[in-house]
Structure 1
Amino acid sequence: MDVAPRAIILLLTLVLPAVAQGQAQAGMPLTFNEALQQAASASGQVQGAVLDVRAKTLKAEALSNIDGPSVDLTAFRGRLSTDLNIDTSRLSGVAGGIESALPGLPIPEIPNSLNREVVTNLTSFGLVGMWPVYTGGRLDAVKGLASGMTREAEAERIEAEEKLATLVAQRYFQLLLAKRVVAVRAEVTAGVTEHQRDAAKLEKGGLISRAERLRADVALDGARSDEAQARSDEEVAQVALDRLLDARVQVRPGTPLFVNSLPVGTLQSFISTGMRENAAWKKIDSKRFQTEQALRLHGKEYSPTVFAVGNYNLNRGSEKLVRSNWAVGVVVAVPLVHRINTGKMISAAKLDQERVEVTARQAERDIPTLIEKNWRALENARIQFLSTASSVELARENIRLQSVAFKQGQVTSLEVIDARLNLARIETQRAQTAYNYVMGLAQLLEATGETQRLGSLAAAADIQLPLDSTP
């Protein structure tokens, strides 16, 4: 092989992994919905809830035919010992008649009974069938309890997913907020750096004092420190999101911070939805159903039970006396005495039912209160964000005017720096308000059981903060 091809191969060997690593570090932009799906796959709590639903569903399906017939195949192989007792007392009269009719004929003496022990090798195959005809509704209650447990597991799965969606929203948009603050602080640093250079030129020209230039130097050091702190906060937010999503590369958010200029819904519409879809309310419904089934089960403890039964045995033995046998019939069982105090079990079931109803009445007050609290916080953030739109334009114009006036010696360095810090404060406040709006919306949707709407509302928002470093 020539030297040139070898050099090219060596260069590719060194460069390509570095390029691939750089791409991996950058990562692909991840929308909020994609981040939510990835977080759900990585969440042990959500995956555990999903497995619990599957397990409870299988158990309910396993009990779905509990009131149907059952057939068992039985087999036996061994030795059987039994005593046979045959009454022969009537044969004595027959023997006497024969002796009278045929004198001289030897007639053996016949005992009054014959006893014999029979020992045989026995092989038996059988079918045993049973069908509960009437159980007083107990088996239906058992199936109802299993169904209620499945519904409860499903409600817990929804609750886990709703809480996870709020947590993902918090970390996802907190990273965007941190990036936004970094962009604002970087712009402040760039502006103060330019101002410091102007101050140094003016000092050399004798137009400003050394103290004025030193104020610019101090402001530049402060801007750099604030930017470094903002970048540190961004790194912490990045790590928090990456670990929540169990990401192997850094996550790049693809859904920006947003605000809807118009309300996303009325308070009453959210309350109505929450009273249907709230995960805690669904859990209460499942508990209510379970307590009804438990009371139904315990209230029928003394009801009779009727079973249709059938049995067929194919017996094979070394003795011809062993033959096949079968039996069919109906079994009726009426409970008389229980080892468990049924009356107390019924009282306990009624208390469980009352406890669920007390919890339901409390939830009927708490859920609307929580929804209204989150809705008002959402509206306050929306109005606050919209009311500060003109402040940004005014602050930018003030910076331009102060910079021009400073070069003309009409204002001090401190006034220019204050103008830039004022713009940074306003833009940071607006970014924080947008984050508060998103989190208010996420918490409102969690309370109403609609967290799946957050991604679509973000995509349809008419106000979206930029994702890049441009403020």
Structure 2
Amino acid sequence: MSSLLALTLAATLAAAPPPVLTLEDALSRARKENLDLKAAQARLQQADTASRKAWAGYLPTITASGAIIRNSDAAIIPPGLLSPVPIEIQPLIQRQAQIELRQAIIAPQLWAAIQGAYKSERVAELNVEQARREILFGVAQAYYGAAAQAQAVTVQERLVELNQARAKDTRVRFEAGTVTRVALLRAEQDLSRAEQDLIRAKNAAASARLVLATLLAFDEADFQVAPPPEPQVSPKTDTAAMIQRSLEARADVAASRETVELARINKRGVWLSYLPTLGVSGAWRIANSGGFTGQSDTWAITFAAQWTLWDGGLREANLSEASGRIAESEANARKAELTAREEVKRAQLDLESALANRLKAEQTVELARESQRLTDVSFKAGVATYLEVADANTALTGAEIGLVSERLQAAVAALRLLRSVGAFEARALDSDLKDPSVVPPTLRPLPGQSEQPQLAPQEQSQPQPEQQPAPAPQQ
């Protein structure tokens, strides 16, 4: 009895449908498990050490050393005029230890180094934030692609089922002598073509799930994707306002500006290297030989100044290099701003085109449905032929697949517009960008909107072609 129960349970588990992944599930897992995002966060942790390294040059350093030396000869001054007792200058076995402390008092070049370290950490934060946004946008894009491929498979499966029923009825009527062989061959060709298209659609859907599984760090793509929502974004939002928001909210633009400041700080550090430095050091030593003082331990405090008057032209070369880096970073910052402007304008145009194409695709589906319905009525009335019925159903399926594609393009175009403005999976740039546990809203409101864009459930375009009766004998 227990064996039968175990077998039943195993069969039930084996027949269980794969889990269904939603868009929010995908984004949530990507925030935690995406390997590219983990690598970016690890780079940020490495960059966080820059300020500590810079401060290390200005904070005190303490060193301790010790040694045991076997000299070839001992040096001892016998008792006499210098001392009534022997003075050991160099023992045969010499033991000594030392503790030394060094502290910079005035080090102008380190001032710029510390400031530049903090600035470089800020640049790293912004670069990681930009990488995080791009990674999550890629996840969303892959999710929409996988969902579109799944819908295409559903459409192809319905077409295969319809053609299977039609081919079966046509064969029965052919054997009964009520249809010609041409009709049977056409039905079998339609079925074979539909089966090939279904195989291609299934392989494309499996490939899209593999891409998504890799982004989400799944070992296997054993899941299904739920129909994704469509972002309700208007392409008519004021372009100037969106460009201004883009220049303020995009992490890559902010990083390019901070890089300019970093280059200027580094050049300032080269100028400060022309100034002298001042430091203090203290040392305490102990040895098994007191020497002339007779003291086994001694200490000393040293104030030292250093001023490099000429270093072979190295500083002048560094100044020239720093000026070139400033010019380079300024050009990159200007390019980042122009790129942001271009992406906003292009995303608006793409979204407008995608929405228009989606509307036309919806109209095409309605026309194809009406054409299929009229052809069906004509066929039942004996006016239309079997070939016309097959062409009408094929056209309807093609229109449905085209609508799936146009809906995907419209959704991705809306997400791309949000991304170009810095409103998709974006944290405020003045917040703590180092905290990976902070989850920003998926969509932020566009300029001029009081509420954030909504994710509306995607309407399913489900053609419902009826199985056609077998065609009458051809005249």
TM-score grouping bracket, smaller chain normalisation:
0.7 to 0.9
Amino acid at match of 1:130: R
Aligned to 1:326: 299
Identity among equivalent pairs (%): 20
Alpha-carbon distance between aligned partners in 2 of 1:400 and 1:312, rounded to the nearest angstrom? 102
Within the alignment, does 1:402 sit opposite 2:375 as a pair? Answer: yes
Within the alignment, does 1:134 sit opposite 2:106 as a pair? Answer: yes
Shift in Å, 1:206: 8.0
Within the alignment, does 1:375 sit opposite 2:355 as a pair? Answer: no
Within the alignment, does 1:460 sit opposite 2:454 as a pair? Answer: yes
Q: Residue by residue, what CA displacement relative to the aligned partner does 1:88-119 show, whole Å, maximum 9, x if unpaired?
A: 6xxxxxxxxxxxxxxxxxxxxxx9xx996633
Q: 1:290 is matched with which residue: 251, 262, 268?
A: 262
Aligned to 1:220: 191
Residue 22 to residue 146, structure 1, CA distance change in 2 (3 Å): farther
Within the alignment, does 1:185 sit opposite 2:156 as a pair? Answer: yes
Shift in Å, 1:287: 2.5
Amino acid at match of 1:380: S
Shift in Å, 1:338: 1.7
Alpha-carbon distance between aligned partners in 2 of 1:181 and 1:216, rounded to the nearest angstrom? 22
CA contact (8 A) 2:229 2:455 kept: no
Alpha-carbon distance between aligned partners in 2 of 1:274 and 1:75, rounded to the nearest angstrom? 61
Alpha-carbon distance between aligned partners in 2 of 1:294 and 1:367, rounded to the nearest angstrom? 27
Q: 2:55 is matched with which residue: 59, 64, 71?
A: 64
Aligned to 2:406: 433
Residue 455 to residue 359, structure 1, CA distance change in 2 (3 Å): closer
Q: Please list, as runs of the form range in 1=range in 2, the aligned pairs for 1:17-416 lying within 5 A after superposition.
A: 17-23=10-16, 26-39=17-30, 43-64=34-55, 66-75=57-66, 118-120=89-91, 126-136=98-108, 138-196=109-167, 211-212=182-183, 214-249=185-220, 250-254=222-226, 256=228, 258=230, 260=232, 262-263=234-235, 265-314=237-286, 317=289, 321-339=294-312, 341-416=314-389
Alpha-carbon distance between aligned partners in 1 of 2:79 and 2:105, rounded to the nearest angstrom? 41
CA contact (8 A) 1:39 1:245 kept: yes
| Structure 2: stretches of 5+ with no match in the other structure | 427-440, 445-451, 466-475
Alpha-carbon distance between aligned partners in 2 of 1:38 and 1:385, rounded to the nearest angstrom? 30
Alpha-carbon distance between aligned partners in 2 of 1:19 and 1:336, rounded to the nearest angstrom? 85
Secondary structure of the corresponding residue to residue 59 of structure 2: coil
CA contact (8 A) 1:172 1:253 kept: yes
Greater fraction of residues in helix = 1
Aligned to 2:391: 418
Q: Residue by residue, what CA displacement relative to the aligned partner does 1:313-348 show, whole Å, maximum 9, x if unpaired?
A: 455547781244333353222212325621111111
Secondary structure of the corresponding residue to residue 382 of structure 2: coil
Alpha-carbon distance between aligned partners in 2 of 1:172 and 1:155, rounded to the nearest angstrom? 26
CA contact (8 A) 2:290 2:297 kept: no
Q: 2:4 is matched with which residue: 6, 11, 22?
A: 11
CA contact (8 A) 1:79 1:119 kept: no
In our comparison, the structure showing a higher alpha carbon Rg is 1
Q: Residue by residue, what CA displacement relative to the aligned partner does 1:9-47 show, whole Å, maximum 9, x if unpaired?
A: 323444444444444xx4422222432344465554332
Amino acid at match of 2:54: L
Secondary structure of the corresponding residue to residue 193 of structure 2: helix
Q: Residue by residue, what CA displacement relative to the aligned partner does 1:422-444 show, whole Å, maximum 9, x if unpaired?
A: 22122111110111122223433
Alpha-carbon distance between aligned partners in 2 of 1:344 and 1:57, rounded to the nearest angstrom? 29
Q: Which moved more, 1:262-271 or 1:239-248?
A: 262-271
Shift in Å, 1:305: 0.7
Residue 414 to residue 340, structure 1, CA distance change in 2 (3 Å): same
Q: Given the two structures, how large is their TM-score scaled by the length of structure 2?
A: 0.78
Matched length? 439
Residue 207 to residue 403, structure 1, CA distance change in 2 (3 Å): farther
Q: Given the two structures, how large is their TM-score scaled by the length of structure 1?
A: 0.78
| Structure 1: stretches of 5+ with no match in the other structure | 1-7, 89-110
CA contact (8 A) 1:40 1:164 kept: no
CA contact (8 A) 2:35 2:217 kept: no
Shift in Å, 1:470: 8.8
CA contact (8 A) 1:310 1:328 kept: yes
Residue 140 to residue 264, structure 1, CA distance change in 2 (3 Å): farther
Secondary structure of the corresponding residue to residue 321 of structure 1: coil
